Structure 1
Amino acid sequence: MGVEILRVFNNNVVLARTDAGSDVILTGRGLGFQARPGDTVDQEKVVRVFVPEDGRDPDNFGALISAIPPELLLLADQALAASDTGSGRRAGSTTVVGLADHISFALERLRQGIEIEYPLRAEVAHLYPAELATAGRVLELVNARLAVPLPPEEAVPIALHLVNAGFATGDLSQTYRMTGVFAQLFDVLEQTYSRPFDRDTVNAARFITHLRYFFVRAHTGRQLDDGAGRLGTAIRDAYPEAYSTALKLQAVLELRLGQPLTEDEVTYLTLHVARMVDEVRA
């Protein structure tokens, strides 16, 4: 039994079901031409297989893909592969489609003469330097293939797509929100201690990494809750000032996320604050 077509979006995009029972979106020139639901896919025409990730609805995902020019899907896929996202594997479907959709929209804005400023540029540069560097390479590769190149500022949203690729959620709005929260937390730290905190230090990088995965845990309902009561008491006693600051960060996170933090999460926030403060004072 071959791969069965479930829905034809256009001449080049179809929704299909594999032998294993998984729904996938297939693209390829003429793949959907005169095809009907129930037909077997012509495998020789398949150029790319897109897998709906993170619980995405296959129909909605397929409709999004069908609305993107196929040459931009191919360009996004090739640019991500050539730039080396650092994962050692091909970029996921959500990342490729998200980038292609962004390029398509950016080109349309460019044609209409609409300029957009990205207010999170400084935060992205501080918080995600590796992703921003990769985004710069992606943008360079994309522009090499476009008749009218995109402006350098487009590296910022591309970087956020790359950040988003490392998380359990395919919703880019979560990444935008996370980045804004990070900036707010560093503002709290700097106001509390009346001094700047360098985001490029090792301990700041550890703190950011912890927060990034905290967002994943919070989004999936899996906050740290190992019953580390004694450890928490010892850390609070050893770093009372850092604990007081961690409580301020807790208040911001709970307000922005709409859910309470566990004691273990606050304990680890305290540890990271203490490390960064000690580093500044050293």
Structure 2
Amino acid sequence: MREPGVGGETRWVVQQVHNNNIVLALDAAGRSVVIQGSGVGFGARRGTLVDAGKVEAVFVPLEGVAPEAAAGTLADIPAEEVACARRIVEAADLLLGLERAEVLLLPIADHLHQAVRRARLGIQVDIPLVWEVRSLYPVEFTAGQRALDLVASDLGVRLPASEATAFALHFVSSSFTGAAIERTVRMTQLLSQIFDVIDAHRREPLDREGQAAARFTTHLRYLFVRLADGRPVPLAPPLVRAALEESVPGVMAAAGAISRLLTTEWDSPVSPDETLYIGLHVHRLLEDAALEPR
């Protein structure tokens, strides 16, 4: 995944050579990036141009990650795993249209390296949020499953099925501007808490695998993106708010509880208009769920 340099040409200036295959360099925009390619560091020296013909991938460190540390991490990962990580990101990009594919390369390579090491040592880890990720982010989950197939074909290692969730969370994180994987995990954990609020309102568990729940989680996904990006919803007519508060006060109370959960996560209040729209979706969810066969 290359980036255009000055005048449409690809251009990088060597800052530090980590090994024959990994170089820290400045791109045309003045950013420190990690260059990977067979022999790209051989004979290279600080201040010289990177041989563009040897560049296989450009890794852009996440915000807050020191470029030197990123280069060091990548230098410790076997070349075949780096190549597999690149294929995973490229396959996900084709499926999802990733907004920041180049930023994902390094965390995917690092995660892949650790996952392969665990698998070869027979170490089992519990990966939570499988249902939440599959419900909120079904396309990203599919991309995660494809990643497991690529690992099996490229590296001869069959990772546990739950690792599809971990890869999917990385893909999801790229859709939230500036969101690290930890923030994406916290947002995803909210899904269960929101359904717990609705269950308390209904006084019985909702079928979280049903079509009504699936439609509701789609609305929640868009809600999470809006809140993460700071985009407001359209202003709600006062008459609509008054009608809902009068006709379904319990639903609006549940919507208020959900808004407080979200406020705690984002450290900023959820607007009354957003709360109203949450109430509308909760109301629709409960109506649809009542019609589903038991």
TM-score (normalised: structure 2): 0.81
Q: 1:166–1:197: structure 2 CA closer, same or farther, 3 Å change rule? A: farther
In structure 1, the partner of 2:71 is 62
For the pair 1:176 / 2:182, whether they are aligned, the reply is no
Q: Which of 67, 71, 74 lines up with 2:80 in the alignment?
A: 71
In structure 1, the partner of 2:290 is 281
Q: 1:60–1:226: structure 2 CA closer, same or farther, 3 Å change rule? A: farther
For the pair 1:3 / 2:12, whether they are aligned, the reply is yes
Mapped partners of 2:125, 2:183: distance in 1: 20
Q: Which of 137, 153, 161 lines up with 1:152 in the alignment?
A: 161
Q: Which of 73, 96, 106 lines up with 1:87 in the alignment?
A: 96
In structure 2, the partner of 1:271 is 280
Mapped partners of 1:270, 1:253: distance in 2: 14
Q: 1:71–1:170: structure 2 CA closer, same or farther, 3 Å change rule? A: farther
In structure 1, the partner of 2:26 is 17
Deviates more, 1:250-259 or 1:269-278: 250-259
For the pair 1:224 / 2:232, whether they are aligned, the reply is yes
SS across alignment from 1:245: helix
Alignment of 1:183-222 (within 5 A): 183-199=192-208, 204-220=213-229, 222=230
In structure 1, the partner of 2:39 is 30
Q: 1:54–1:87: structure 2 CA closer, same or farther, 3 Å change rule? A: farther
Q: Which of 165, 171, 174 lines up with 1:165 in the alignment?
A: 174
Shift of 1:172: 0.8
Shift of 1:198: 4.0
Q: Could you tell me which runs of 5 or more consecutive residues in structure 1 were left unpaired when the two chains were aligned.
A: none
Identity of aligned residues (%): 36
Q: Could you tell me which runs of 5 or more consecutive residues in structure 2 were left unpaired when the two chains were aligned.
A: 1-5
CA deviation string 1:234-270 (max 9, x = no partner)? 5434542321110111222233443322212212211
Mapped partners of 1:77, 1:219: distance in 2: 27
Query: Does the CA contact (< 8 Å) of 1:214 and 1:223 recur in 2?
Result: no
Query: Does the CA contact (< 8 Å) of 2:99 and 2:174 recur in 1?
Result: no
SS across alignment from 1:212: helix
CA deviation string 1:23-43 (max 9, x = no partner)? 432211121233222111111
Aligned residue pairs total 281
For the pair 1:140 / 2:180, whether they are aligned, the reply is no
Mapped partners of 1:239, 1:85: distance in 2: 44
For the pair 1:130 / 2:139, whether they are aligned, the reply is yes
